[in-house]
Amino acid sequence: MSVAENQVAAGRGSARAVAILSSLGRFLVIAVTTYLGLLAVTFFIGRVIPIDPVLAVLGDRAPTAVVERTRREMGLDLPWIEQFYLYVKAALRGDFGTSVLTTNPVMSDIRRVFPATIELATLGTIIGAVIGVPLGVLAAVKRGSLIDQVARIVGLIGYSVPIFWLGLLGLVLFYAKLQWIAFPARLDVVFEYTFTPITGFYLLDAAIQGQWDVFYDAWRHIVLPAALLGYLSLAYISRMTRSFMLNELAQEYIVAARAKGLSESRIIWGHALRNAAVPMVTVIALSYANLLEGSVLTETVFSWPGIGLYITNSLQNADMNAVLGGTIAIGSVFIAINLFSDLLYRLLDPRTKAG
């Protein structure tokens, strides 16, 4: 290789390194800005709601001197800009204060309840993706057919019917009438004191420890709420998959593949779906984030001890530290998943690499 070629190669390598560093810089700026925006919103909500955080801790009958001293200790007598600075500083340390309801640090409560929400949302996303992707592909391939109409109806119901109504209907049918599932909870009482979770994911922990009776009981509790969340995910994923596949099937390379005599199954599953898989990764990631964020009603209906039920109970008891801490935790995960899916899209899509 000549000197000129080496210089050209070095220049290309430097340009690529600069592009990667620039992309990472923009990624970090977006992440930090979004997180600060989340903290600003929660801080504003905590200050405008008609609940005095001092009285929530001390009670309505606390002496005035004690109330004022506690207000100073909590920094609530400072200007809002100073309060926000202290709020952000504490949040970055993972310090969201103490829960009035449980008397524990909010972060320790979040670590205790969040695995239940993650387990539920993960199973729901798996159900939604495993059924939704093939359904969307078939609906696109057989556009206007019966299966396409069924996919549209499934999506319409998933978007229109409230999740709490489906949950109550499912409990009446599968628990009260058919008795196929266990009562609303995460585990039967008989296992509460004999089962020691390791990771907080009961299905995984029970399988690791070989406690298959606990695994079966945990499955009977999680299957219906996970199926309902999976149905919501299915409705979104199948609709987006259908849209992506219709776009791919209209491309010229599909016509060329058919002209070459390739089988229809290879064209659909080996070419069209492969190209549609890049944006579908983002869709599935966003669906997962939405299930984490929107599991509040599901957890409330099924008494599922996740972060959604934790926030609901805290809100009913005016425990604003727990409410805002839980909101920040969910928002942080939502931001992280969105940014990760965007980064994954850039890595997988050759067009973004070329740009």
Residue 215 has pLDDT above 90, yes or no: yes
Count CB neighbours of 39 within 10 A: 19
Amino acid found at 227 = A
Please report, for residues 24, 111, 286, the alpha-carbon distance to residue 337 in angstroms, rounded to integers and kept in the order given: 16, 18, 7
Rg of the chain (C-alpha set) = 25
Domain boundaries, the chain: 3-92, 107-354
Taking the CA atoms of 33, 35, 41 and 44 in sequence, report the sign of the dihedral they define.
negative
Residue 301 has pLDDT above 90, yes or no: no
Percent of the chain with pLDDT over 90: 14
* pLDDT at residue 14, rounded to an integer: 64
Contact in structure between 234 and 153 (CB atoms under 8 Å)? no
Residue 99 has pLDDT above 50, yes or no: yes
Percent of the chain with pLDDT over 70: 86
Query: Model confidence over 151-183: pLDDT tens digits?
Result: 888 888 887 888 888 888 888 888 888 888 888
Q: Which residue has the higher pLDDT, 352 or 143?
A: 143
Please report, for residues 39, 98, 323, 347, the alpha-carbon distance to residue 74 in angstroms, rounded to integers and kept in the order given: 18, 12, 17, 45
Beta bridge partners of 338: none
Q: For the domain 107-354, what is the CATH code? A: 1.10.3720.10
Alpha helices in 142-251 (DSSP H): 146-160, 163-170, 189-192, 202-208, 212-249
Count CB neighbours of 68 within 10 A: 12
Query: Model confidence over 231-273: pLDDT tens digits?
Result: 988 988 998 988 888 888 888 888 888 888 778 888 888 878 8
Contact in structure between 303 and 184 (CB atoms under 8 Å)? yes
| Whole-prediction pTM | 0.80
Beta bridge partners of 98: 105
Burial of 94 (0-12, 13-18, 19+ CB in 10 A): middle
* pLDDT at residue 349, rounded to an integer: 61
Residue 74 has pLDDT above 60, yes or no: yes
Who contacts 26 (Cβ-Cβ below 8 Å, separation ≥6)? none
Contact in structure between 328 and 92 (CB atoms under 8 Å)? no
Three-state DSSP string of 143-156: CCCHHHHHHHHHHH
Phi, psi of 147 (to 5 degrees): -65, -30
* pLDDT at residue 355, rounded to an integer: 46
